[in-house]
Amino acid sequence: MNDLPLSEMPQPLLVTRRRNWPVATLTLIGLCFVVFFLEKLAGGSERIHVLLEFGASYGPFTRRGQYWRLVMPMFIHIGWLHILLNMYALWILGPMLEQVYGTGRFSVIYVGSGITSAWLSMELSKAVAAGASGAIFGVAGAMLTTGYLHREVVPPRWARAFGKWMVFLILLNFGIGLALPHLIDNWGHVGGLLGGMILAGLIPPPPPHLAWEEPRPSQWVVIFPIAVVALAMAATARHYVRSQQALALLRQGERLRAQHHDSQAMQRFLAAQHLDPLDDRAYDALGSLDLAEHRLSEALNEYHHALRLNPGSPPAEVGLAAAYMEQGNASKALHWLQAAVGKDVNNAQAQSALGDLFDQERLYPQALQHYEKAVQLNPHLAEAQNNLAWLLATCPERQYRDPQQALVHAKLAVSLTQGRQADYLDTLAAAYYANGQYSQALKTQQKAVSLDPSNRELQRHLARYRQAARYPLHSARFFTEEDYN
C-alpha cells in the first residue's frame, strides 16, 4: 500500500489518529477527589477549621499573606453532594472546551478562572468559601465567548453548547444561587464567569485544522497552571503542618492551664505564637490567660492583635468584652459584646466562646446557657457539644450537673470528630463515669490514651477509671472538674 500525503488521506483514517482523552479535565477531577479524601482524613470536609487549614477562601487570611488561598478553593469541597455535583458539571463541560483549546490553554483558562473566582469572593464576601464551581463557571464563560468570537473552531455538534444553551445554563445556575444565597458563593461564581470570558477573549484557540492533531502547538503553556497549582499545594502543606504543630501546643497549654500550671501554659502559648505568628488562636489563648490573672493591659493587647489578624473573631471580641468589663469600662465592654453576639444572636461560635468565658470565670449557669444556645444553633459544632458535656459531667456545683445529658452531648462530639480527638474521648469517658458506667469509661479512656500516649492528664484519668472498674462499689460518687484537674 502506497503512503498518501496527509492532505489526501481519507477523513475516517484521520479520525482514528485522534486522541480524545481530556487529560486536564481528568487530572483536575482526580485532584479534587484526592483533596476531598484528605479533608475526610483530617477530620471532615464540613468542619470549618479543616476547610481553612486546607486553603479555603477567606478574606482576612488571604490579605495577611496566604495568597495560596486564591488557588486552593477550586480543589476543596464541602460534603459529598458538593463534590459530586461539581465534578459532574466539570465532566460534562470540561472535555468540550479542552477539545477546542487543547490541554495547555484549557488548563490556563480553568486555573485562571478559579483564581478570579476566589479573588472576587474574598473581596466581596465575608464568608469562608470553597468549591470548583467558580472555575466551572469560568469554563462556561469561556465556552460562551468562544462560541461568539471563534465559532469556526467549534464542532457543529457542539454549536448549541457554545451558544444559546450555555446562556440558559448560566442564567439557571445564577437563579439557583440567588435563591440560596447562604449556601452558594454567588460572588465566586461571578468572578469565575468573568475570568473565563476574559481569558477566552485574550487566549485564542488553536486553528481548526490543528485542533485535533498530536502534538498540539500550545501544550507548553500547561507549565504555568501546573506550577501555580503545585506551589499553592506545597504552601498549603507547609501551612497545615505548622498549624497542626501550633494547635498541639495550644492544647497542651490549655491542659496545663486547667491543672493550674499557668507559667507552663504560657510557655506553650508563646511557643505556638512563635511557630505561627499569623495564627490568631495563640493571641486569643494568651489574652485569656492574661485576663484570668488580671493583667488587663496585656490581655487587651493580645485580643486586639488577634482581631487584626482575624477581624470579627468571636473569641477575641468576647475576650475584649470581658477585659473591658473587669477594667470598669462598661461602654466598651458592651460594644464588644454586641460585636460578638448582639448583632447576630444566631452566631453559634460566638455563643460557644461566651460559654467558655463564663466557664473560666466559674459562672456556670451563664456558661450552660450559652453552650446550650450554641448547640441549638449548630448541632454540628463539636467543640460546643464537648464543652457542654464536660461541664454537665464534672461541674463543681452539683446542682448544675446532668450526667445523662452529658453523655448525649459527649457521644455527639465524638461522632462529629469520628473519634479522632483524644480530649473529646476524655470527655466521653468522664460522662460514662458520671453515669456509673465504669467499664465503658475505662474502654473509652484507653482509646483516648492511644491517640495521645504522652498526655499525663489522660493517663491519670485512665488510672482512676481502671480503679473504678475494678472496685465499683467504692467509686459511687461524682468526680468534679476540680478532681479531674
Please compute the mean of the pLDDT values over residues 69-92 and round it to a whole number.
Answer: 94
Q: Which CATH superfamily is domain 382-485 in?
A: Tetratricopeptide repeat domain (1.25.40.10)
CA distances 28 to 33, 75, 298, Å, are: 9, 8, 48
Active-site residue, from 133, 218, 243, 313: 133
- Band of the pLDDT at 483, cuts 50, 70, 90? low
Q: Residue 285 and residue 307: Cα distance in Å, rounded?
A: 13
| pLDDT tops 60 at residue 210 | no
Region 22-207+217-235: CATH code: 1.20.1540.10
Any catalytic annotation for residue 454?
no
pLDDT digits (tens, 9 = 90+) for 288-330: 899 888 899 999 999 999 999 888 887 888 888 888 878 888 7
Q: What is the model's pLDDT at position 141?
A: 93
pLDDT digits (tens, 9 = 90+) for 414-452: 999 889 889 999 999 999 999 999 999 999 999 999 998
Q: What is the model's pLDDT at position 18?
A: 47
CB-based contacts of 66: which residues, under 8 Å, 6+ apart? 55, 235, 239, 278
- The mean pLDDT of the chain is 85
Please compute the mean of the pLDDT values over residues 88-108 and round it to a whole number.
Answer: 92
* Element (DSSP H or E) covering residue 242: helix 223-258
How do the domains of the chain map onto residue ranges? 22-207+217-235, 279-378, 382-485
- For a pLDDT cut of 90, what percent of the chain falls above it? 46
Domains 22-207+217-235 and 382-485 share a fold: no
Q: What is the model's pLDDT at position 75?
A: 96
> Three-state secondary structure along 412-445?
HHHHHCCCCCHHHHHHHHHHHHHCCCHHHHHHHH
Active-site residue, from 77, 82, 150, 189: 189
Any catalytic annotation for residue 125?
no
Region 279-378: CATH code: 1.25.40.10
- Band of the pLDDT at 480, cuts 50, 70, 90? very low
- The interaxial angle of helices 382-394 and 403-416, nearest 10 deg, is 150
